Chain A
Amino acid sequence: MPKQLPLQFEFQSNQNFNTFYPGGNEEIINHLQHIFNNNEQQIFLWGEAGTGKTHLLQAICQESNQQNKTSFYFSFRKTLPNSEMLNGLENFDLVCLDNIELIAQNPDWEQAFFNFFNLHRDNNKQLIISAHCPPKYLPFQLPDLKTRMGWGLTLKIAPLTDEQLLNALIYKANDLGFEIPVNVGRFLIAHYAKDLPSIWMLLDKINHATLAAKRKLTIPFLKQIMSEQNTP
């Protein structure tokens, strides 16, 4: 029987607080969820890549919308856009900047971010910044910027343990509408991916494959999916 082609759509999990598997990070989620009530002016969220910082920042932006607050989210990549992008953002109730370490050592961006930071703070607005390291280790050239990074509440997001990773995997698969048996989940983590972004990408592939083959996921089937993925 020919393989049925599933509809092509980008992996797009709804990144809100309900779809975030907390692991040991309940406190962080609590602080972020209550940011508008607690009036925490600045939160610096740091942790290794793939621990869910982006998901949390997205979640808080969604939340802001429901609370009638204006919000802006930006994730820095290696190629930086024009720093004019920050103009006017000082009027936003909440600004979330992901991967802030990527602007370090770029004089234009450091200066622009410093100016934005002062204006935004003077306007009494709220800022959430994420980075892969704590504020002290950010290699900013502007010392004024460095001291400002540690000003607010600094929170470290802890990576998930293997057991938590497994639970997260099962949780996320359920969210996508299919089931991953525990033994298959363990096998996947042990052999194919240990960080969340790679796991989510794999889940997307598995989702497509199970949908196309109309089969339940087993270890042999997983191996087959992975070998198909690796063949050009």
Chain B
Amino acid sequence: MSSIWNTCLSKLENEIPSGDFSTWIRPLQAVEKGDTLKLLAPNRFIIDHVKQNFISKIEDAVYEFSNGTLLLQFEIGSKKTPPLIQPKQVRKSAEKDKPKRSTFLNRAFTFDNFVEGKSNQLAKAASIQVSENIGKAYNPLFIYGSSGLGKTHLMHAIGNAAIVKNPSVNVVYLHSEKFVQDMVQAFQHNTINAFKDYYRSIDILLIDDIQFLAGKERSQEEFFHTFNNLLDKKHQVVLTCDKYPKEIDGLEDRLKSRFGWGLPVAIEPPDLETRAAILIQKAALANVDLAQDVAFFIGKRIPSNVRDLEGALRRVLANAQFTGKEITVDFTKEALHDLISLQDKLVNINNIQKTVAEYFKIRVADLSSKSRRQSITRPRQIAMCLARELTSHSFPEIGDSFGGRDHTTVINACKRIKALRDSDIKVSEDYQNLLRTLTQ
């Protein structure tokens, strides 16, 4: 940092309101070169705002502390910005001595630390296959499921495992939006050929959240060609999405159909045991030995997705670090007090009954009625099972809320639904859909 600019900052800090100072002035990075003081800003918008509102104050300060010797200049950039893809570099990459390109992979995501459960074992197995047989096993591998269930983790794990096996393999991970941005930039800078060369030279292309291509026709067109090119050359493509290919609105049919060529594989929300295992493993990463009962307690109270689980765990660990107390169930209850009371407000027996009744198109009163028709008993059993999984009510309390039924009826309902979820796809799907609706 330029020492003159540092002095200017101290002056400006007293002249500009602190909110404005933190937004517009402090983030500027100064580079002093010869008789020029270059102020780097992250984008045009910030430069324009600074020029409109603070230029005279900045000029005065720079003039004062440089005795009028420095010329002020604004530029978009950052001292730490990694270089953009250079066309020359791309051409080189086809050669043997290709320079190492950034993979954008997060090394922390591996298969070893991906906790497996029923909800994700197929997706994990397919991902391992892909990382071991690049371009041959399933191409494209299409992993889909709701947000926060581990799709991105598997993607990074594929890339990391492939590199371990063959360090020279050219892997690139990116979010679909980055593809769009790169394409737009390539058009702006007239480097579309370099853009094409770059994407078509990748051995394993990992694109996250492909649903964001929806409605962007030009990007879809470009992606379609890139995709075909890679598949023709038997390079691997892995895609993630929040839904099954055919269900993505605003995506061209030819892309939908091609996405289904390889293997579309779903990730479901983790069950309680998997949630507990995830917590124990995440805690271990922070060098904390999380007790089973604590893991089950958090897992039971935070049923929605892995990100929420991680958030809850961070809260417990941070609180333990601050207070120096041991992490027990009581301690956890206290640390997560806010989160749990919110969850309770969002999910209670009443809204479980309402949601289940709406889902199966029956009346809420039917759930508490004496009816023994299967069209009523199945939703009733599912609602009881959800109440058990999502709330802290006891079996007798749940029985009471369903027309004063005995607690053994609730126990049986939970057992029955657990068994049916393993044997009947329809029940399993209904249960997952309801769980998702109630916890998102």
Contacts and interface: CB of A to CB of B under 8 A. Distances in A.
A27 B43 contact: no
Given A72-B42, A136-B346, A119 B314 contact: no
A119 B23 CA distance: 20
Given A85-B45, A144-B147, A154 B78 contact: no
A91 B146 contact: no
Contact of A88 (B19, B42, B308, B311): B42
A73 interface: yes
B81 to A, nearest CB: 5
Interface stretch (B118-126, B315-323, B417-425): B315-323
Nearest to A26: B322
A207 interface: no
Contacts of B318: 31, 38, 40, 153
B22 interface: yes
Nearest to A136: B342
Nearest to A75: B19
A151 B178 contact: no
A74 B19 CA distance: 8
Nearest to B44: A84
Interface string A53-92: 0100110011001000011111100000110111111011
How many residues of B sit at the interface, in one of the four size bands? 35 or more
A148 interface: yes
Nearest to A117: B175
Contacts of A143: 146-147, 242, 440
Contacts of B34: none
A134 interface: yes
A74 B440 contact: no
Contacts of A71: 22, 26-27
Interface of A: 10, 12, 14-15, 27, 30-31, 38, 40, 44, 54, 57-58, 61-62, 65, 70-75, 81-82, 84-89, 91-92, 96, 111, 114-115, 118-119, 122, 134-137, 143-144, 146-148, 150-156
Interface of B: 17-19, 22-23, 26-27, 29, 41-46, 76-78, 80-81, 104, 106, 146-148, 175, 177-178, 181, 208-209, 212, 242, 304-305, 307-308, 310-311, 314-315, 318-319, 321-323, 338-339, 342, 346, 440
